[in-house]
Structure 1
Amino acid sequence: MDRRELAAFLRSRRERIGPAEVGLPTGPRRRTPGLRREEVAQLAFISTEYYTRLEQARGPRPSREVLAGLARALRLSYAERDHLHHLAGAPPGPPPGPSRVVRQSILDLLERLPQAAAIVLSATFEVIAWNPLAAALMEDFSALSPRDRNLVRRAFLGPRPQGRRLYGVSDVEAFARTSARQLRATAARYPDDPEVTRLVHELRAGSEEFARLWDSHEVCAEPTLCKTFRHPMVGPVTVNCDTLDITDRDQRVVIYTATPGSPSEEALRLLSVVGTQSMDVPG
């Protein structure tokens, strides 16, 4: 346990958080930046005396429960959480579960891509953010439950009317292989997360194809550079696929763009005007 570094780290993290960020009043007499020690202690469910001793580099080694409370109270990222554990001499365990919280800067980025369809996927392939063109191209995700927004579940267990399995994408078989492989890696990162466990059990029980892919123990994903959506209103839309990793949240931004001057670009332009209003057959 590195008491001095732990104390300095806790103090620096405490001072960067404004009271309003955690629902506390600012107050006219607040002289120090960030939160007060007693406020952090309250949020972490520990005594103020104990937290003060930690910041003064004279506290005992905190338990994993205390470290979890501090990480939650100080709003630490996964990397900061791991660092906290290492400073306390307690190697970190696996993260609690895949994050569904999308940074505001990423949400702003989606809105700034009016000519591209863009979505954000969690580590379990749940669509957790999207822009209007993505909803027009694929489906109005706002009308779906989180369960029904999961693309790996839709690929293996979802509706398949008139060959429109997973929105009629041309690479559905490759996507199925890739998603099964990436989900296996996700399950290894979050071995104690009940939601991940339930998803895997559901897919194995409901899809022989998924069970076969899962039992192959492959974890290397196949990159997707281009795919074609078979849209019920505008027909085939061929797009380039680019993926940006958000490593600190274990999320991915997937951006679909059409080649300039192509019929698919015209189709996307039409969809950007029509939106989801004429979407009559969800895939």
Structure 2
Amino acid sequence: MDRAELADFLRTRRQALQPEDVGLPRGRRRRTGGLRREEVAALSSVSTDYYSRIEQQRGPRPSERVLEGIARGLRLSPDESDHLFRLAGYVTPPRPSHGDEVGPGILRVFDRMAGTPAQIMSSLGETLLQNRLSVALMGDQTGHTGMARHLAYRWFTDPAVRLLQPAAEHARSGRTIAAQLRAAATGERADPRAAALVGTLLSVSEEFAAIWREHPVMGPSCEPKHIEHSRLGTLELHGQGLLDPDRSQTLLVFTAQPGSESDDKLRSLSALADQLV
């Protein structure tokens, strides 16, 4: 890891960005060009102190997940992102396929969701991006490969995934996931990968096959769901989705009833998220 080069590279890219480039207001008191460190930190889903230590050549080597967040926050090109990883001493990660690229409009909204758990999902249930509060709430869901990238596959093949929800909600969640997969596999905007996912699930999960034969169909729903967190206990949350029709991607934001116990628990997620960096 080349700390000096890494710090200098981040400074140059931070100073080259203007607030307007990332959807932030300039403000009247801004005297210098470029973004502030706290702005880059928020866009990258890391704490200001953590990001500042990287630019100051202090602290541990940033993880690959942190570097991915910084590359996104600084709007680095693919070549610049590869350079960032090399400076930090990592092999450059494989570049995503076009289907994994998040649309610029929904990305701007995602960047403003630093204060609440948020993630961007594909129509096939792949988690494309998570902010640090989403990771603290549900774990990192972006590192899966193969069929395991899809929530439906993990739900019906990996019992550990269901530990995030109370057992009483498993049946409803299974039907919802199957219905969402059916929607992705049919209609004018059907994803050609959906057929392969359905075929695999039919062959490996009797539970999925039984639900699939019932042709589950469900419209948009904002019913509360419960998350079983290892440190915070049970949280009752509402998931609100913003659809980007151009890329069939959804920004999912989790909120709690204001003033509720779950709302208090969400507020404590930030401290937990800092411990995961």
Q: Contact between 2:133 and 2:270, CA under 8 Å: does it hold in 1?
A: yes
CA distance in 2, matches of 1:249, 1:155: 24
CA distance in 1, matches of 2:198, 2:256: 34
Q: Report the CA distance between 1:181 and its aligned residue.
A: 1.6
CA deviation string 1:111-161 (max 9, x = no partner):
31223211121111111122111111011234433643421112211233x
Q: Report the CA distance between 1:191 and its aligned residue.
A: 6.4
CA change 1:214–1:132 in 2 (3 A) is same
Alignment: residue pair count: 179
Q: Contact between 2:118 and 2:134, CA under 8 Å: does it hold in 1?
A: yes
CA distance in 2, matches of 1:260, 1:128: 28
- 1:197 is matched with 195
**Aligned-residue CA RMSD in angstroms?**
2.8
State the TM-score, normalized to the length of structure 2.
Answer: 0.57
Q: Contact between 1:168 and 1:229, CA under 8 Å: does it hold in 2?
A: yes
- 1:3 is matched with none
CA distance in 2, matches of 1:247, 1:192: 13
CA distance in 2, matches of 1:197, 1:276: 40
1:165 aligns with 2:162: yes
CA deviation string 1:202-256 (max 9, x = no partner):
2111211210111122333462321110001111111122122222211222111
Runs (5+) with no aligned partner, structure 1: 1-96
Instruction: State the SS of the aligned residue for 2:207.
Output: helix
Q: Contact between 1:98 and 1:123, CA under 8 Å: does it hold in 2?
A: no
CA change 1:186–1:192 in 2 (3 A) is closer
Letter in 2 for 1:173: A
CA deviation string 1:66-113 (max 9, x = no partner):
xxxxxxxxxxxxxxxxxxxxxxxxxxxxxxx99332112322322312
- 1:103 is matched with 103
- 1:151 is matched with 151
- 1:17 is matched with none
Instruction: State the SS of the aligned residue for 1:243.
Output: strand
Q: Report the CA distance between 1:165 and its aligned residue.
A: 0.6
1:271 aligns with 2:269: yes
Runs (5+) with no aligned partner, structure 2: 1-96
Letter in 2 for 1:128: L
State the TM-score, normalized to the length of structure 1.
Answer: 0.56
**Kindly, what percent of the aligned residue pairs are identical?**
32
